[in-house]
Structure 1
Amino acid sequence: MLSAKAAELVRATLPVVGAELETITARFYDTMFAERPELLDGLFNRGNQRNGEQRKALAGAFAAFAGALVADPGRRPDELLARIAHKHTAVGVTDDQYVIVHKYLFGAIAEVLGDALTPDVAAAWDEVYWLMAGALIAMESRLYAEAGARDGKTWRTWRVVERREETPDTVSLVLSPLGDGPVPPARPGQYVSVRVTMPDGVRQVRQYTLSGHGRDGHRSITVKRVRDGEVSSLLHATVKEGDELTLSAPFGDVALEDGDAPLVLVSAGIGCTPIAAMLRHLADTGSRRRVLVLHADRSRADHALRADMERHTDALPAGERVFWYETPSDGDRAGLMDLEGVEIPEGAVVYMCGPVAFMRAARTGLIAAGVAPRDIHYEVFGPDLWLAAA
C-alpha cells in the first residue's frame, strides 16, 4: 500500500514528526477554524477544542496509522480506523471535508517543520494521509449506506415522550420518531448524536449511548450533566416532555454480538448506559448466556439506571451482578472495583465502558484472570485517547 520510497522516508522522519504532532495539530485547528468558522457549527465539538482532547486524539491516530504502515508497508491498517469512522458518520462527515482537512493539516506541517519538510518528505506523508483518508471514506460510505443515508444526512426529528430523573445529575429521555420513514436499526451498545442550537446560535453535536430501544420504535438516551458541559447542561435545564430533538442514526463499533460465549459487562459511572442497553436486549430476547455484570460508582444514589440493570440481570437465567460503591449502603461492596474473589467465566467476552483510568485497571485485572485481550471490547466517551489498548 505504501510505496517503498515513502515507507523509507516516513520511517526516517516519524520520530521528528511524531515529536511535533501536538504542535502541528494545534496549528492546524487554530488556522482552519479561523478561516472556516462554519465548521464549528454542527460538526466539531468546541468543548473538546478548548480542552485539547480532540487535538491529542488526531495526533495519536495519525501517528499510530503511520507507525503501522511503516511496520508493514504492504498492508493498510484499517482496523485502527473503524472507531474513527463511526464517530465521523455520527456527526455527518462528508468526503469533501477530507480535502479541507488536508489543506490545513499540511499547511501546519510545513509551518512547524520548516526546512525539514523537503518535497520528498512532504510527498511521503501525503501518501500516508490519503491512505488514511481513503480508508475512512470507504468505511464511512458503507456505514451511511447501512443507515439508509446519503451524503452524511442521517438526521431525524424525535419527540421527547418521557423525562426520567435517574439521579440528581442524570436524566433519561424517552424518544419517539416523527415522520413516516423507517427508523434505522440500532444494535445494543451503539450511540446517536444529538444536535442542539446553543444560546449563541451555534449548533453543537454530542454523542449519547442508546440506553434503551424497544420494538415500539421508542429509544432512550441517558445524559449525565457534565461540569462545564454546555450541551449536557442545556439538555438538563431546558428539555421537557413534548419537546423535539434532532438525532442521527445509530453508530458505534462496540456493540453486543450474538453468540453463546459467557459475557462480562463492566462499567463505572455513566459508562453503565451501553451495558444497560445490552442487558435489556439479552433479557428481551430470553438469552441463556452466562452474564456477569460488574459496576462501580460513588454510591447507590449516584448509580444511574441501577434499577434497570438489576431487573434485567435478575431476568436472565444465568445472570449475576456485583456492584461496588465508594460510599456503600448495607450489603454493598465497598470501595473501587476489585476483581479479587470474583469468578470470571472461562472463555468470556468482555464489554466495558467508563473512565479511561478505570478501564485500564479493569482490563489489567481481566487479563490476569485469563480473559484474552482480543475478547475485551471497550467504548470511550469523547475522543479516543486510549490507542495503546485498542
Structure 2
Amino acid sequence: MSLYESLGVTPIINAAGTNTRLSGGMMHPDIRAAMAEAADWCVEMHDLQAAASRAITEATGAEAGIVTSGAAAALTLGAAACVARFDVAQMHGVPIRTDRDQFVMARSHRNMYDRAVQSAGCWIEEVGIPDRFSGAGIRDADAEDFASAFGARTAGVLWVAQPWAEPALADVVRVAHDAGLPVMVDAAAQLPPRANLRRFLDAGADLVCFSGGKAIGGPQASGILAGRRDLVASALLQMLDLDLPPAQFALPPEFACDDAPKQLPRHGIGRACKAGKEEIVGLIVALRRFVAEGDAPQAARLRAVLDRVRAPLGNAPGVSITEGPVPLLLLAMGSPAEARAAEAALRARHIHIGQGRLRDGVLVVNPLALAERDIAPLGQALRQVCGLLDR
C-alpha cells in the first residue's frame, strides 16, 4: 500500500499539467535529495534567501530575488513592496492603512489570481475595453489608458504575461516609469521558453513573479519574486521572521540598499508567504537544473513521453502532437459532448487531462506531470475510453 493509500487518498495520473489543484508536477531525484539534506540542518533564513538571490540573479539577470511560497505569494509580496517601499510605517499599515493602495491593469488582463494583489490591501483600477475578446471590435487597452489612471494613491502596475497580452510591456513600462511607478509582471506559468526568465526584466519590468512548482520542476509550494533590489528587499523584510533584537539583524549584501530602513519593522503581511528551508533549497536546485537542460532537450524529452502515450492509439484519426517548448497530445473527438463524456470517463478512472479545449471537442494531454509509471496505463485508458480505434 502506498503512503497516500494509507491516508485514504487515491493517487491520480496527472495528464493535465502542473495544476495546483492536482498537486503540481514531479520533482527530479536530485531535488528531492537536496530537500531531504536541507531538512537535516538549521540555518539563518536571511542567509539562505541571500543564497537563493544569487541563484535567481544568475538565472534571470535581476538585481535580486527571493523564494516565496508560490507565485501568488510573490504577487502579494511584490504588491506590498510597491506599496511600502522602505517606509516602515507603511509596512506596518499593509494591508489596512497605507498611502498607496491602487494597482492599475488592463481589463483584458483580469484573472482569478490578481486576488493576490488585493490581499496586500490594494484595489485594482481596470483600464481599456477589450473589444477584441468580446467580438465587438479589435481594440484593447493602450499605454495612454494606463497613464490617465495614475494618481497619488497608485502603488504600481500589474501586467499579466501571455502571448496575446496588450498593450506591449515596453509601452506600459514607459508610461509607468515616467510617472515614477513600478511595473510587476505575473509570469507564473510563462516557462518555458527559458528566455522568459530574462525577457520581462529586459523589457523594463521592476518585478516579475514565477511559479517554482510548474515547468521549473521545483517544490509545488515555491515561487520566485525577482527584480529591483530595493523592492525585493522590501518584500523580504515583510516576509522574514524578525523576532530578534534589531542590533542582531542586517540585510545581506545581496539586498543591501542605501535607503534601507534603520528601524527593524514588525512582522509583515508576508509572514503568511514564507518558504521553508526545504522549499528554498529545492527551488535553487530545480532552477539550476531547468536552466542547464535547455529548451530543445526538454521539448525532445517530453515529446518522447507523448510518443509512448500515443503508441496504443496507432494511427487513429484526430490524434496529433503539437510542436513547441511543451508539446501536447491532442485528441479531436466528434463533438464537445463526446469530449466531455470521454474526459469524465477518464476522471472516473482517476486520470486527469487538460480541459481547456473541451469546448472545441478536443482532449489535451500535457506531459509535464507524468511519471514513468503513468505512461502505459494512460495510453491504454485513452484507447479504451476514447474509442478512437473504432471510428
Question: What TM-score, normalized to structure 1?
Answer: 0.26
Q: Highest relative contact order (Cα 8 Å, sep 6+), 1 or 2?
A: 2
Greater strand proportion:
1
